[in-house]
Chain A
C-alpha cells in the first residue's frame, strides 16, 4: 500500500471552471486534490468577448460573486458564472496560482496544452531538490461548463486508474490503459521532466518544499 494517498493537482488557466470542476469531483471521490490556475490573472467572461472580468489571484470567490451580482445579476446567472462561483467558494476561498505553490504532488493534470507548457516551464525553472518524480498529464478540455464536467469525469477516471501507479511506477499500468482509452476522445499529452520515471511516459520532476517564497 502506498505511503500516502495520491496527491493530485488539477491546473487550468484561471482556476475557475475546469480545474474547479475536477477539484469538486475528485474531492467528492475522496482524493487528496488541489486546484490551480497558471494565468497571470483570473479571467471570467464579461458582457462581451473583449470585456472579460479580470481579478487577481488574491480576490476570493466570494468577492467575485458579489462583484458580478452587483454588475449584472441577470447576465451572470444566465451564463452560469454565478452558479460556478457559488460552487467554487464552497470548495475553497480563492483561486490559487500554480507557480506560487511549492507543495509536492504525485500527479499534475493540466486542462489545456498552453497550461501544460506553463506548468512544465515553471517546474523546470525550479531548483532541483528531492529529485522526486511527478507526472504531468495534459487533458485538453474546452473551457465551457459541459466540457468541464465531462473532462472532470475523465480526470477522475484517470486518477482512479492509477491509485498507486504514480507513486509506484512499476505498477502504473492502469495509467497506460487509460491513455489508450483517452486517445479516442480527448487529446492527451504528457511530458517527462528531469525527474525519475515511470513506464508510461508521463512524468515530470517537481521540487517541493523550496523553503521560503521564491520568485
Chain B
C-alpha cells in the first residue's frame, strides 16, 4: 500500500508537480499498467474515463487523477479534447469528485489561461455548491485564478467582456463571504481578499514580491486605455477590499483562525505593497490593544505568536522605517528584547526616503510645508505626515487624536481615568488581557506617555470619537467635493488627485477646523462644525494660521484651570464619602470587592483626615466591614513596603492600632474578629501589642485575647519572644482570672522546646526578686512610684512565684532554685513560700528524683522547706522507701533534727521509731500529737493504708520503757495520755495486753501502776483483770519498787472492796505499810474479814489478823480528799 498510492497522489494533489511529478507518474504506470504501455495517451484517457463513470467514488478519484496527470502534464494537447468530459463530473454526487473538478479547472486554466473563458461559468456554478467544502475549494481556486482572469482579459483581444464581468461578480460574491457563517469559508475568503488586494494595487520598486509571483499581473501593468477594464475602478476595488479586510479584522468576535489568517494576510500585504504599511501597522496596533475577549488562553498565545512573527517580517522590510517606533513598541510589548528588535531592523534609512520621493513625487509637496511647520512647533512629529496616499485619512485621525491627548495625560488625569474605569472592569480577568499584560517598565516617561496617547487614540478612533476623527471626516467630505469638482479634468489620474487634495487639505483643516471643533462643546458653537468642510483653498491659506490653529488645540488644556488645593481636598473628600456611603447599592450589584479595593487604595494615598474617616466608618460596623479593614491594612503595609528601606510604619501602625483599639473598646464584639485582625496583620507593632495586652487584661475576654497571643507566639516566630513576654507579664497579673488563664497558656507553651528556656528564665528571674529586701517596683505596675520601698507582703511574694510554681510540676529541676532562694529570703517570705508550695509539691510527688535530691542535699537554711515538702508529700500517702531512705540519711549524717523523721515515721523500722521516741515526745505538744496520729493511723480520715511500724500496744509499751535519763517523766506521761486519749485505738483489750506485758517485765516500769489505774478508770469492767494483776504483782514483790508500790496501794484503795482479797494476800509488813499509807482501809478490811465464815477466817494468818487488829481502837483518820481524785494522785505520785 505504501508504495502504491500515497506518494503519487500526494504529489498530484499538490498539483504543481512539474518534471518530478511526471517521472513519478511514469514510474507508476510502468509498475501498474504494463499492458497499457503501448496504448496512446488518448486511448488511455478514454479508457480511464469510461472506467470512471462506472466505479465507486474512491476509485473514481484515482482514475480521474490519472486522467488529469495525462492530459495536463503528459500531453496538454489533449486537454481541450477531454475538457468537457471531465467537467461533466462537476455534478457528481460525491463532494470529493466535485472538488477534484475544481482542482482540475485550476490546473487546466494555469496550463492554458484561455480555457478560463470556457470554465468561468462552471466555476461560478461550483461556487454556489451546497457543500461548504466545495465552496472552499472553489474560493481557493479563485484565489489563484482571479489574476489569471485579469491577465487573460488584458492579453486576449477578443476576450469577452461578459467573462470579466462574471469574474468581477464572483469576486464580489467571495468578498461577501467574509460574512459567511462558516469559519472555514471566511478563512478562505480572507486569503482570496489578500491576493485580490495585491493584484489590484500597483507593484512598486520596494515591493517584496515572491519569485514565483514575479510574472503575476498587478495594477501597475494595467493599461489606462483598456476598453472595459478601467484602471481607476480596479484601484478603487482594491482599496475597498482592503477596507473590508480591515473592518473584518476589528470585529470583536472574530475567531482565532480568522484572526491569525488575517494577520498573515496583512503582513503579506505590507511586504508586497508597502504603500499599505501604515494601515497594516495600525491594524496591528489596534488588534494588540484590543485582543478579542472571546479568545481562549492558548488562542491568545497563538495570536500573539503570530503577531510577533508578522511584525518582525514587516519590520525587516525596508519600507517599515517610518513605523519602526510603533513596531518596536509593539514587539517590546509582545516580549521581544530590544536587541532582537534592533537585529531585525533594516539599517537603511536614507535610501528609502529617497525612494519614496522618487516613487511618488507628491511627497515633495507633503514634506515641504511640514518642514516649515516644524520650525514654529517645538514638538517634532515627522512620522505623522508623510504617508502613502490612501492611508492619510485614518492615520491622521489617530495621530491627531494622539497629539491632542498627549498634553492631557497628566498624572492627575490618568489617575482619574483609572479610577473611573475601575467600575467597568470585568469580574474575571480576560485571557487576552492576562496574556498581553506586561508591567509598564517605563511608566511616566515621555515615550510611554506617547505610546499611551497613541493607544487611546487608536481606541477612540475605533469608537468613532476624538478630534482627529472629526477632522478627518470633515476632510473626507472636502475631498469628495473636490473630487466632484475636479473629477472630470483629472480623471486620467484619480489617484494623484486624491493624494493632492488629501495632503493639501491636511493643512487646510488644521487651520480652521481644529479650533472650532474643540471649542464647540464649550462655547455652544455647534453650527460651526457643519461649516468645517467648507472648501478652503490650500494656496490661499499659508502656514501661519495653521500654527496658530495648533496652538489653539493646546489652549483647551489651558482653559481647564487646575483646582486649588482646598478644592481638590474637598472634592476628593466628597468623592470618597460617596464611595463610602454607597455601600449597600454596590453590595447589591455584587461589586463590593471593587469598592473595597478602591477605597483602600485611595485612602492609602491620602494623609490623615480621610484615613480616620474611613477607620471610623469601618469601626461603626466592624463585622460587616471587615473586608474593608483588611484591605486597608494591607494597602497600608504595601505602601510601607514600597517605600523600603526608608519607609515608615507610622501610617500602618496608626491604622492597625485604631482598628484594634476600636475592637477592644467595643463591648459586644465576640466573634473573633480581633483574633483574625491580629493574626492576619502583616506586622504587629508595639502599640498594637499594647492593645492586645489590654485585651488580655479584660477579664471577660481574657481567654480569647490569650488564645490570640498564643497564636501569635506560635505563628510569628520572628518576634515570638516579644509576644511571649507579654503573656509572661500577665502571669503575675493582679486579677486572678487573667493570671490563671495566662498560667495555663504558658504551661501549654512550656512544652514547646524553643520557648522553654525563655519561660523558665522569666520565672526564675521573678523568683529571684524574693532575695531582695523589698519587692521590685515591677510588681506594682508601671504607674506606682518606685521609690517607695514597701515591705514584702503575702501578695507580692505570691506574685513572684505564680509562674514558677505552675512550672514546677512540669520541670522538677526547678525545685533546687527555690531552695537556693529560700535560704536567702527573710522569714516573712519563707513563711509565705511554705504556704504556697503545697499544691506544686504535691503535684511533683514523692517519686520525683529532684525532690529526693533536694531532701538528700537539704541546703543549709532550707531545712524548714524540706520538712514542709516532706509533710506535704506524706500528708495523704505513706512515704516511699526511697524517701524514707533519704530522710534517714539526712537525719543520721547531716541534720540530726528528729522533726525530719516525723513525715516518714511510718516508713521507719520499729526500733528506729522506739529510738526516736524520747526525742519526739519532747517536741511541741501539737507536733507530738501529729506524730502519734501518724503512728496510730488516726490522721487519715479516709482510712489510708498507712501501716505503722508499731502497733498501738507496742507504742504504749515503748513509752513505758523509755529510759528516764533520756526523757523527763512529764513528757512520757503526756505521751501516754495522748495514747489514752485515743479511746477507739486503745480498747480494753489492747490495754489488757499492755498491762499484762508490762507486768511481766523486770524491773517493773515506773509508770505501770499509773497505766493500770488509768485503764481501770477508762474501763471499769477491767477490775477483775486488774485484781489479777495486783495479785501477781504481789508475787513479784511489788513493794520493792517504791513508785510502783505507791501506785499499787492507790489502786487497791480505789478498787475496794474487790481489792480486799488482794490486800489480804500481802505479807503482814506490807499490809501494815498499806495501812500506814491509808489507815482508813483497815477498818473496812477488818469488817470484811469478820464477815467471813469462821472457816474462812481460820485461813487468815494470825500475823495478818494482828496487823488488822493492831489499832482497832484507834479512831480512823480523815480520808485525804485528793485520794478520791486519781489525777491529783497521779501528780503527786509522779512528781
Contacts and interface: CB of A to CB of B under 8 A. Distances in A.
Interface of A: 1-5, 7, 32, 103-104, 117, 120-121, 124-125, 127-133, 168-170, 188-203, 205, 208-211
Contact of A127 (B99, B213, B258): B213
Contact of B265 (A129, A194, A209): A194
A5 B62 CA distance: 13
B302 interface: yes
A192 B305 contact: no
A163 B461 CA distance: 45
Nearest to B139: A196
A197 B180 CA distance: 13
A209 B16 contact: yes
Contact of A196 (B99, B191, B299): B191
Nearest to A121: B309
Contacts of B268: 128, 194
B212 A129 contact: yes
Contacts of A130: 14-16, 140
Contact of B302 (A5, A124, A191): A191
A93 B5 CA distance: 22
A169 B184 contact: yes
Given A5-B6, A195-B261, A198-B183, A127 B61 contact: no
A3 B99 contact: yes
Given A124-B310, A131-B143, A209-B17, A193 B184 contact: no
Contacts, number: 149
Residue among B191, B195, B268, B313 with the highest chain A CB neighbour number at 10 A: B191
B14 A209 contact: yes
B306 A133 contact: no
The 5 closest A-B pairs by CB, nearest first: A197-B187, A194-B264, A192-B260, A127-B210, A197-B257
A194 B257 contact: no
A113 B260 CA distance: 17
A196 B10 contact: no
B264 A124 contact: yes
A192 B306 contact: yes
A124 B305 CA distance: 12
Contacts of B18: 211
Nearest to B210: A127
Given A193-B306, A208-B16, 4 more contacts: A169-B184, A170-B182, A191-B260, A191-B302
A128 B268 CA distance: 10
B133 A168 contact: yes
Given A124-B310, A191-B302, A199 B184 contact: yes
Contact of A131 (B132, B186, B191, B306): B191
A104 B144 contact: no
Contact of B14 (A124, A127, A208): A208
16 contacts: A1-B96, A2-B96, A4-B10, A7-B6, A103-B10, A121-B309, A130-B140, A131-B188, A133-B187, A170-B184, A194-B264, A197-B183, A198-B187, A205-B191, A209-B16, A211-B20
Contacts of B260: 191-194
A132 B103 CA distance: 12
B13 interface: yes
Given A131-B144, A196-B184, A198-B183, A7 B264 contact: no
Contacts of A201: 255-257, 299, 302
Interface in B181-237: 182-184, 186-188, 191, 194-195, 210-213
B493 interface: no
B9 A4 contact: yes
A117 B184 contact: no
Contacts of A3: 9, 13, 61, 96, 99-100
A125 B309 CA distance: 10
Nearest to A189: B298
A208 B255 CA distance: 26
B217 to A, nearest CB: 16
Nearest to B20: A211
Contacts of B61: 3
Nearest to A4: B9
Given A32-B6, A127-B210, A203-B257, A191 B191 contact: no
Given A104-B10, A133-B187, A197-B257, A188 B17 contact: no
B739 interface: no
B329 interface: no
Contacts of B210: 127-128
B280 to A, nearest CB: 13
Interface residues of B, number: 60
Nearest to B303: A191
Contacts of B1127: none
The B interface is mostly helix, strand or loop, or mixed, namely: helix
Given A3-B99, A104-B14, A197 B184 contact: yes
A165 B191 CA distance: 20
A200 B309 CA distance: 21
B168 interface: no
A101 to B, nearest CB: 12
A4 B14 contact: no
A128 B198 CA distance: 13
A132 B182 CA distance: 17
A104 B9 CA distance: 11
B58 interface: yes
A89 to B, nearest CB: 18
B1055 interface: no
A133 B184 CA distance: 10
Nearest to A170: B132
Contacts of A121: 309
Interface string B1024-1067: 00000000000000000000000000000000000000000000
A68 B454 CA distance: 59
Contact of B188 (A128, A192, A196): A196
B136 interface: yes
B301 interface: yes
Residue among B17, B20, B136 with the highest chain A CB neighbour number at 10 A: B136
Nearest to B95: A168
B6 A196 contact: no
Contacts of B140: 130-132, 196
A193 B298 CA distance: 15
Contact of A129 (B13, B16, B298): B16
B11 interface: yes
B707 interface: no
Contact of A4 (B6, B256, B264, B310): B6
A188 B297 CA distance: 11
A196 B264 contact: no
Contacts of A195: 187, 191, 261, 264
Interface in B71-123: 96, 99-100
B291 to A, nearest CB: 14
B57 interface: yes
Nearest to B13: A4
A121 B312 CA distance: 10
Contacts of B11: 209
Contacts of A196: 136, 139-140, 184, 187-188, 191, 261
Contacts of A104: 10, 13-14
Nearest to B255: A201
A48 B972 CA distance: 101
A114 to B, nearest CB: 11
B940 to A, nearest CB: 76
Interface string B517-543: 000000000000000000000000000
A197 B140 CA distance: 11
Residue among A129, A168, A192, A211 with the highest chain B CB neighbour number at 10 A: A192
A191 B304 CA distance: 10
A121 B6 CA distance: 28
A212 to B, nearest CB: 10
Contacts of A133: 187
Contacts of A208: 14, 16
A32 B7 CA distance: 10
Nearest to A126: B210
A195 B190 CA distance: 9
Contacts of A2: 96
